Structure 1
Amino acid sequence: MRTQRNPCTIMLSHSIKRSILVVFKSLSLCLLATRLLAQQAQKNEFTLSGKIANTEISTLEIHLFNADSQLIKTEFPNQQGEFNFEALPKGAYYFKIRRGQADLYNSEVIQVTQQHIVLPEIRINEQRLETVVINRSRPYIERHDGKLILNVESSLQNTGGSALEVLEKAPGVTVDGNNNIILRGKSNILVQIDGKNSPLTGEELANYLRGLPASAIDKIELITNPSAKYDAAGTAIINIKLKKGTNKGTNGSFSTALGAARYLKNNNSFSINHRNDKLNLFANYNFAYREAYNDLMIDRRFYKEGHLEKTFIQDNFFKFSSRNHNGKIGFDYNLTDKNLVGASVSFTSNVFKPFGDSKTTLMDSDCQPLNHTATLSQTDNITKNISANLNHKYRMDTLGSELSTDFDFIRYINASNQSFDTRTSDNNGAPIGTPYLLKGKTDGDLNIYALKSDWIKILPRGLKLETGFKTSYVKSDNDIKFYDHSTSPAVPDSNKSNHYIYQEYIHAAYGNVTKKWDKLKTVLGLRIENTNVTGTQLTTDQINKRKYTQLFPSVVFSYEFTADHNLEVNLSRRINRPNYQQLNPFKYYINATTYRVGNPDLNAQASQNYELTYSFKGKYIATLSYSKISDNITTVVKPILENGENINVQTEENLKSAAYYSLNLIAPLKLTNWWDINNNANFYYGSYTGNVSGTQINNIGNFTLDINSIHTLKLGKNFAAELAASYKATEVYAFARISPYWNVNIGLQKKFKEKNSLKLALTDAFNSNNRKGLTVYNNYEENFKSRREPRILTLSYSYNFGSSKSVQSRKTGAAEDLRQRAE
């Protein structure tokens, strides 16, 4: 047994009780600061008032929303039709006048910048108005509260695609050849689904996202510098928010898509929602069938004392097929005007079958062929997931103060059968030795329990206090057995088999104080997390333990010079813990000379993050950021000697440090009434220091950029077209240099009576989205080129049915990203 502790984490010598006491003392100071600020803020109150004429007053309700469509207050007019909203912070608002289920009046956006604003008299003609519905066109890219938001359905290039393909096209996001998601040059990203952390990473996460249709996604949030109210894990957060029904009555949608290139693809989505004043019932189901391929060419060269010793030339063709079913059913019920309870159950079933045909030529020091090895591989991977959520929310007032609690249980079951048939021949095709037949079976079980509670208090005069806690337990049990079938009977291979159990406890508490003055807004946050991890290799009786407590402060300063000019400073500290796959030392074989293996000695990485963001008119945005990371977790492919043979191993290593400097620009343009352009450019420099496989690098990196431009053309008669182009320049990533690549996608849409639409999309129109790269160590060099399926033509149809009567959100207040309600 051996016990390891992370030398780069901040270790606290006090007990956990002492650490938690520190948090409560900090929160007490926050409360004291809140009271002091409240005494100084009376002069910043604003009032909005008006009068309604020519209609029955007694049954009217007036709902006030902020610019993010969050309900702020509800008022009722007096007998004279007068209404008044008091103690408002400065900002943008709009309101709705309702009678029963009908919207009688929808105001324009009102800029509240004066102490008292009196609106012109409001006159309502109910004889001409049954229900007023405002269709707000959402741009593809928005920024709110430090988050870059992609409205997926607003872009035709996402038609018929999967969630993984949407991410690959997202500005600043890349997916490398090992299925790692990288945001603005940063790896180790935390991916969330509806605000809940996904335990999947790497290939398993990629398989899930391949099976999730883009038609099921409402928006994607890119959070590059999260505050203390978010989990401290990950260098950044990508939150995929699925669609949900918001209209009263019964309504829903259906969509289907068929894609064709070398192989067929099919996505189908169905959702239904019934909502009234008390109850909201919802259900959805998605099915996706996809076939694709990846043609990977690799040139591996091994050196000894600077001289070429041998070369492997590999041609790897991988075909993937997947069948994914996922769905959700649940309800929300208003027990009283202040109490909301809800529950939901969701499931996923994914059958993923990759087939590999790898051909390897071994060449001597003079580049003359010695022999040829062919490996046929087949994997049948079945992943099943079921998750349940129970939630309760207590609304304390009409300002948005609330107490919410969530309990989640998630279980993943994974079963995988692998087979490898390896045969070697000479230059004349004559067999060398006997065929090597290897078969493996993996049984995996992952259980997650999580409980969290958040308390939000909205105070007058621009004050908000947030605090909460979260506790979670994760247990993963993976048992993999390999057998050598080259002889009869088959012989167990103890060198490749492994049984690994991973257990993780994380307990966290946080506090945030937000204060708004006339032009200045500040958010001060502190989060404390205690982590206790145990990894047990039953095969070798090796135990790795890590236990540590850390503090994660965050600070935001936002200053509004004028209504058009805003400057924001964002500082935070974050951690990235290695997940159970990265720690699990079992071997996943790709071909006769390559396999993937986890690293049980990985340490957690810590990062300091700084951002400066300037926005003009809320549309033109420039963000300058810097991150310093210690013990950077980096995916590497390195050469080793195993039983006297040269083998390549894909694994994770801790580099000593990494640093990222970036400038991100968002510049939408409206050239004409029918031509809109969304432009995004990310310029960044990544620098790495560390040692892998006997090779030392010191501040190695390069300046690079990626550009994304989306052109939307309104052609008339409900026709629209879209052209999306992207380019990524050469990037140095630790020991690897990735060559530039570019991509063009085209889309066309026709809408019919606002209820249904037909879309046609062509992805990678010029077969240019190919990846090439070079990895260099002291005695090893690898060139690779990856070609994936181009020119996928997809036709999709979507239909919306049911009621279109809108209803105000019951999730009041300004903390939507804290409320992970399953709706």
Structure 2
Amino acid sequence: MIIKLWLLLFLLFLSVFGKAQEMVKRKVPDSLAQATSSTTNISEVILQSAPRKMKLNDGNLVVSVAGNRDFKTSTHLLDVLRKTPGVTVDQEDGIFIGGRIAPAVLIDGKPVVMSNQELQAYLRSLSPDMVESVEVNTNPSSKYDAEFKGIIDIKLKKNTSLGWKASYNGNVYINKFNYRENAFNTSYHTGKVTYSLQAGYNEGISTYRYQALQRLANTNMMRTHTYQEDFGKVYSIQTGADFRLNDKNRLGINLRGNFRNNDRSRNGSLFTTDQNETQTVLNTASENPTRYSQYNYGITTDYSFQNKGFKLSFLGNYLSVKNKQKDDFINRDQAVTNLLSYWKSDLINKINIYTAQIDVSQKIDHADLEAGVKYSSSDTQNNIRYDTLSAGSQFVFDPARSNVFSYKEKIWAGYLAYRQKMGNLQINAGLRFENTNSISNAITVDSVVARNYLKWLPSLSANYTFNKSSEFSLSYSRKITRPVFSQLNPFRFYFSPLNYWIGNPYLLPSFTSQIKATYRYKNWITSFTVGKEKDVMTRYPLYNPETNVLEYLGTNLPYRNFAVLETSFPIRITKWWNVTSQITGYYNYEFRPYLDEVFALKIYNYEVRLNQVFSLPKGFTVNVFANYESKTGNSLYIIKPRYTIDVSVQKSWLDHKLNTKLGFNNLLDSYEQRLEFRHKQIMDNRFTHWWDSSRLVFSLSYTMGSSKYQVKETQKTEEENRTR
């Protein structure tokens, strides 16, 4: 029914738009048509020398990065993504598209398995000049993993120059403390082999504050304050080689490591008064020092064979992650400094992930037939031990909070995709299957959950190009989202002595069906997405009025309906002043059972972005970026409005080899997140998260090398040809 509906809409749109174009053509005199034709020819020459900053590829937004004035003042790729239409980067460098979808990040069309921390460090090591383009895909086809509800594909600039190239990029962020980033990138191209090396070192202190106000069940008022300083060091290294064995065969290998150490000090207080806030009932001070380390090792190999219209490729990934964390939780009576409680935790987490996939494609006239198979295996082991200080001043093993948990998952997947071009119309169809076999084992509490299920996931899209200025795309897909390890892990992770969250090993995967329509007129791009998600994974608060403990637990909601309307367009106000605007509207309807009641609210909200670029005399570029988010939330919480303004200036020196940037992010320190529980009869609670994102930023990058001339590229993939 859904497929028939969107096909009817698509045919109706083509019919109406086609008639409108015919009417316009009939009213245009021959002389004007000739003038228009001449102008079009001149425009084609201009476009070849200066490509559009934004375009569509199969209905997906593609934004050029290197050489784009909108990103001249950006310090690294994460900063570029913050200004990319349709992409949001939060205060903790989490990346989201289409609302709150965490996308998969592909490098040159290939999924590279990285931990979140390693990915953030890698994106910070990429300067804008190293990236050719970014493609934002909010409705991936069946060709991609079904868990990819969204994709950001980063196309790196190829070193086609013989010889050696190198660059250094350094950034300093200054707030109460400062944080420093250093990245060194070098490559050597012989014509047959390209060798590359990337190394990074980041160090500094970041701060975070949490405040909460809660009216307790006995009408007392409790205020929670938390202040955190996090001193971190991150070392990263990545090296690889890309071998062109001949015109048909290529082989690549990449080795990398990422090492992180953090010493965190977290101090807080629980201050409780009577309902009139005149008499102190309780005043507790807490200390939570933490020592954390993470060690990542990864290997990626890829091979491709291409002969005329046939292509075969193999991609293999291995990732090993080891996390260690030691915490102390010390609680004292603030008035008399007596020790109230003291416990310790010791966490060891090990993750091993293997993936291997083979893809083949055959071009037949104007059609492409693709097929592929993928196997992935992940094994996660967690062991957390709690020890509590007893009355005898001895630390005693705490079995109630300690746990050993393992999770193993194996996925077999395959797909078949067909693409046919018929004049200005292109049809894409695909079908994917994924068989998931998982076992979660909470060893300490003797709880085993085993699942084995097979799902078929179709996709279909149509793209119609009216002319060089306008095109339309309509697509449908069905996706599966499996719970990640942190959602399944039944361990306690504390925010404060009375506030923690726990994973749920019984969570089910969710399924999303959605339709997306996209229309482009020149550089004006508008998209509309509507869909439904079943078995939505979420967290909910559970308050204990006797102990005043607030837990956050995981569950599946029956369903939610959603829609996203987004438009972005550049405006050239003057020769030296360009503005890129983005307006996005969101609709969300959750059906949420909670504490023997059902809460179902329709939530509407919007987001507005303005990215202004001023090209000033003597090579200076000034950027003013503003972002406003309206009031939003879900069935349980209200999220208050917030906004941010960033200002930066850029200047190149020494024949563009030296680049300097100076800016101030979150100029007015206005991007804190404030939440309030909607239903006061259940719980009266409001809280605020604040990160030190208001920072003065200084960036310096320098490019060097001895390249002499360009090497002719003789082999390009179909995807590369379409995006150039």
Give TM-score, length-normalised by structure 1: 0.77
- Residue 314 of structure 1: SS of its match in structure 2? strand
- Residue 120 of structure 2: SS of its match in structure 1? helix
How far 1:170 sits from its partner (Å)? Answer: 4.6
Partners of 2:357 and 2:408 in 1: CA distance: 19
The match for 1:28 is: none
CA offset digits 1:186-218 (Å, max 9, x no partner): 345445566565777xxx736862685264563
Asked if residue 735 in structure 1 is aligned to residue 636 in structure 2, the reply is yes
The match for 1:102 is: none
How far 1:145 sits from its partner (Å)? Answer: 2.9
The match for 2:303 is: 392
Pairing partner for 2:241 from 319, 322, 331: 331
Asked if residue 588 in structure 1 is aligned to residue 502 in structure 2, the reply is no
Partners of 2:180 and 2:454 in 1: CA distance: 47
The match for 1:443 is: 348
Q: Which amino acid aligns with 2:649?
A: L
Which blocks of at least 5 consecutive residues in structure 2 are unaligned?
1-40
The match for 1:263 is: 177
Partners of 1:646 and 1:811 in 2: CA distance: 65
Q: Which amino acid aligns with 2:647?
A: I
The match for 2:10 is: none
The match for 1:815 is: 719
How far 1:633 sits from its partner (Å)? Answer: 1.2
1:366-765 equivalences in 2 (<5 Å): 366-367=276-277, 368-397=279-308, 401-425=310-334, 429-431=335-337, 434-460=339-365, 462-486=366-390, 487-617=392-522, 619-640=523-544, 644-698=546-600, 700-752=601-653, 753-765=655-667
Asked if residue 345 in structure 1 is aligned to residue 250 in structure 2, the reply is no
Q: Which amino acid aligns with 1:518?
A: G
CA change 1:159–1:111 in 2 (3 A) is closer
Partners of 1:245 and 1:282 within 8 A in 2: no
The percent of aligned pairs where both chains have the same amino acid is 23
The match for 1:12 is: none
Partners of 2:82 and 2:89 within 8 A in 1: yes
Partners of 2:613 and 2:596 in 1: CA distance: 51
CA change 1:166–1:715 in 2 (3 A) is closer
Asked if residue 144 in structure 1 is aligned to residue 57 in structure 2, the reply is yes
Partners of 1:211 and 1:289 within 8 A in 2: no
Partners of 2:59 and 2:474 within 8 A in 1: no
CA change 1:179–1:311 in 2 (3 A) is farther
How far 1:158 sits from its partner (Å)? Answer: 6.5
- Residue 209 of structure 1: SS of its match in structure 2? helix
How far 1:442 sits from its partner (Å)? Answer: 0.8
How far 1:547 sits from its partner (Å)? Answer: 1.1
Partners of 1:318 and 1:354 within 8 A in 2: yes
Partners of 1:553 and 1:177 in 2: CA distance: 35
Partners of 2:73 and 2:649 within 8 A in 1: no
The match for 1:36 is: none
How far 1:638 sits from its partner (Å)? Answer: 3.5
Partners of 2:107 and 2:634 in 1: CA distance: 28
Partners of 1:170 and 1:142 in 2: CA distance: 13
Q: Which amino acid aligns with 2:543?
A: P
Partners of 2:503 and 2:111 in 1: CA distance: 21
CA change 1:344–1:215 in 2 (3 A) is closer
Q: Which amino acid aligns with 2:59?
A: G
Partners of 1:162 and 1:211 within 8 A in 2: no
CA change 1:408–1:315 in 2 (3 A) is same
Partners of 1:581 and 1:507 in 2: CA distance: 23
Q: Which amino acid aligns with 2:150?
A: A
Partners of 1:666 and 1:174 in 2: CA distance: 14
Partners of 2:127 and 2:169 within 8 A in 1: no
How far 1:562 sits from its partner (Å)? Answer: 2.5
Number of equivalent positions: 673
Partners of 2:548 and 2:112 in 1: CA distance: 36
CA change 1:522–1:744 in 2 (3 A) is same
Q: Which amino acid aligns with 1:145?
A: D
Partners of 1:189 and 1:234 within 8 A in 2: yes
Partners of 2:106 and 2:153 within 8 A in 1: yes
Asked if residue 780 in structure 1 is aligned to residue 690 in structure 2, the reply is no
How far 1:662 sits from its partner (Å)? Answer: 1.4
Partners of 2:709 and 2:225 in 1: CA distance: 57
CA change 1:726–1:284 in 2 (3 A) is same
CA change 1:475–1:658 in 2 (3 A) is same
Partners of 2:593 and 2:103 in 1: CA distance: 23
Tell me which moved more, 709-718 or 644-653: 644-653
The match for 2:219 is: 309
Partners of 2:73 and 2:661 within 8 A in 1: no
- Residue 668 of structure 2: SS of its match in structure 1? coil
Partners of 2:73 and 2:650 within 8 A in 1: no
Partners of 1:657 and 1:688 within 8 A in 2: yes
Partners of 2:361 and 2:371 within 8 A in 1: yes
Partners of 1:458 and 1:813 within 8 A in 2: no
Partners of 2:537 and 2:554 within 8 A in 1: yes
Tell me which moved more, 330-339 or 209-218: 209-218
Q: Which amino acid aligns with 1:391?
A: D
CA change 1:574–1:387 in 2 (3 A) is same
1:11-160 equivalences in 2 (<5 Å): 139=53, 142-150=55-63, 154=68, 155-156=70-71, 159-160=74-75
The match for 2:27 is: none
Q: Which amino acid aligns with 1:351?
A: N
Q: Which amino acid aligns with 1:606?
A: F
CA offset digits 1:72-116 (Å, max 9, x no partner): xxxxxxxxxxxxxxxxxxxxxx9xxxxxxxxxxxx996799xxxx
The match for 2:9 is: none
How far 1:676 sits from its partner (Å)? Answer: 1.6
CA offset digits 1:339-387 (Å, max 9, x no partner): 1111110111112333211111123455443111111111121111111
The match for 1:85 is: none
CA offset digits 1:496-544 (Å, max 9, x no partner): 1111111000111111111111111110111111111110111112101
Partners of 2:685 and 2:77 in 1: CA distance: 31
Q: Which amino acid aligns with 1:291?
A: I
Partners of 2:412 and 2:404 in 1: CA distance: 27
| Larger RCO (alpha carbons 8 Å, 6+ apart) | 1
Partners of 1:225 and 1:676 in 2: CA distance: 30
- Residue 646 of structure 1: SS of its match in structure 2? coil
Partners of 1:221 and 1:765 in 2: CA distance: 29
Asked if residue 227 in structure 1 is aligned to residue 133 in structure 2, the reply is no
CA offset digits 1:472-514 (Å, max 9, x no partner): 0000001111111355321011111111111000111111111
How far 1:561 sits from its partner (Å)? Answer: 2.1
Tell me which moved more, 321-330 or 359-368: 359-368
Partners of 2:113 and 2:319 within 8 A in 1: no
Tell me which moved more, 260-269 or 795-804: 795-804
How far 1:793 sits from its partner (Å)? Answer: 1.2
CA change 1:237–1:775 in 2 (3 A) is farther
CA change 1:330–1:142 in 2 (3 A) is same
Partners of 1:389 and 1:408 within 8 A in 2: yes
How far 1:181 sits from its partner (Å)? Answer: 4.8
1:180-195 equivalences in 2 (<5 Å): 181-187=95-101, 189-192=103-106
Q: Which amino acid aligns with 2:548?
A: N
